[in-house]
Amino acid sequence: MGIFEKFKLGFKKSAENITSGLKEIIIKKEIDDKTLNEIEELLIRSDVGVEASSEIREIISQKKIDPNLNIFDEINKILTEYIVGIMKPLEKRDFFHNHNKLNIVLISGVNGVGKTTTIGKIGKILKENGSKVVLSASDTFRAAAIDQLDKWAKKINVEIIKSEPGSDPASVAFKAIQHAKNKSLNQVIIDTAGRLQNKKNLMDEYKKIANVAKKIDASAPHQVVLILDATSGQNIINQVDEFNKIIPLTGLIMTKLDGTAKGGILLALAKKYKLPIIGLGLGEKEDDFQIFDAEKFAKAFIQ
Ligand SMILES: Nc1nc2c(ncn2[C@@H]2O[C@H](COP(=O)(O)OP(=O)(O)O)[C@@H](O)[C@H]2O)c(=O)[nH]1
Ligand SMILES: [Mg+2]
């Protein structure tokens, strides 16, 4: 199965919701207020957010769809155009390009969202694109976290800088960045500990990592990427707010889209924050990752 088929399959539940919902709603040849309300409600139930849902309602009502056309197809077209219009500007393919200069990427997110796994996946793509990658095992909170990143480093065949469990995460990052400079490596990807929001000391450590990076390179961290778990529901919005407050985010990656009907939340996020979307996680394996593409997303979401 190709990655796009996997992606479509991941979105099957979300898409089926919308498709069968629309088919039930659109039974007449014209779109009246009742139908518009029902479409709006369906979209809200699919997690695309109140704002986007009401805008889509407005666009459909203004459109004066010719009753001789297939109304269902016309509405799908409007939805696709709307999604691509909002999300196309948020593509960030250059994240994966080899810029041939030191690029320090800080990976953030609460516990269990998929940070370490995602580092393995993006590290692999960066390496394939010619970057020289080093991972920084700055989640020193648990021994297992260091081992997990170590396994990924071996699997994708990149370097890793690590220290004993319980050691200072910022000093590990410092060593990783120094190592990159000494060896002319150009991508440093820093793993961090989760459960940050409600643990002040971990939040302080997170900030300290960024400050230490700045000491070596004033423009660092060049990327601050928040990892979000698609199955976390409305908590996702809080997580974006909280992390954005501490160090401004430069991009998002949403994981676990393979196991949920909640894919619509990505549109709500796009609408609310306009943060670049780097990619989507579609499973636990190294290639279960899709670099974000707005058209593909829309196609999978509407089907
Ligand atoms: N189904 C699925 N599982 C994932 C995905 N990304 C990560 N996981 C799993 O989620 C769990 C937590 O991932 P981990 O990378 O350790 O999260 P971290 O605590 O944020 O570093 C692990 O069991 C991963 O295999 C994904 O895109 N899809
Ligand atoms: Mg981890």
Q: What is the mean pLDDT of residues 183-203?
A: 84
Nearest alpha carbon, ligand 1 atom 23: 284
> What's the rounded Cα separation, in Å, for the pair 47 and 82?
15
Going by C-beta distance under 8 Å and a sequence separation of 6 or more, which residues neighbour residue 164? Answer: 140
Going by C-beta distance under 8 Å and a sequence separation of 6 or more, which residues neighbour residue 143? Answer: 165
> For position 45, what pLDDT does the model report?
87
Taking only the tens place, the pLDDT of each residue in 111-120 is: 999 999 999 9
> For position 164, what pLDDT does the model report?
94
Task: Give the atom of ligand 1 at the shortest distance from the alpha carbon of 280.
Answer: 27
Task: Give the atom of ligand 1 at the shortest distance from the alpha carbon of 119.
Answer: 15
Going by C-beta distance under 8 Å and a sequence separation of 6 or more, which residues neighbour residue 22? Answer: 39, 42, 72, 75, 76
Percent of the chain clearing pLDDT 90 (strictly above): 72
Task: Give the atom of ligand 1 at the shortest distance from the alpha carbon of 112.
Answer: 19
Nearest alpha carbon, ligand 1 atom 13: 114
Q: What is the mean pLDDT of residues 90-94?
A: 97
Q: Answer whether 286 contacts ligand 1 (Cβ < 6 A).
A: no
Nearest alpha carbon, ligand 1 atom 14: 114
Distance 288 CA to ligand 2 centre (A): 17
Taking only the tens place, the pLDDT of each residue in 171-181 is: 999 999 999 99
Percent of the chain clearing pLDDT 70 (strictly above): 97
Taking only the tens place, the pLDDT of each residue in 62-79 is: 998 888 888 999 999 999
Which residue, among 244, 241, 227, has the nearest Cα to 192 in the 3D structure?
A: 227
DSSP letters, 38-85, are: HHHHHHHHTTS-HHHHHHHHHHHHHH---TTS-HHHHHHHHHHHHHHH
Going by C-beta distance under 8 Å and a sequence separation of 6 or more, which residues neighbour residue 167? Answer: 140
pTM reported for the whole predicted model: 0.94
Q: Answer whether 229 contacts ligand 1 (Cβ < 6 A).
A: no
Q: Answer whether 186 contacts ligand 1 (Cβ < 6 A).
A: no
> What's the rounded Cα separation, in Å, for the pair 302 and 276?
21
| Res 261 pLDDT > 80 | no
Q: What is the mean pLDDT of residues 137-152?
A: 95
> What's the rounded Cα separation, in Å, for the pair 113 and 254?
9
> For position 7, what pLDDT does the model report?
74
Taking only the tens place, the pLDDT of each residue in 212-239 is: 999 999 999 999 999 999 998 878 999 9
Q: Answer whether 115 contacts ligand 1 (Cβ < 6 A).
A: yes
Q: Are 35 and 287 in contact (CB under 8 A)?
A: no
Q: Answer whether 142 contacts ligand 1 (Cβ < 6 A).
A: no
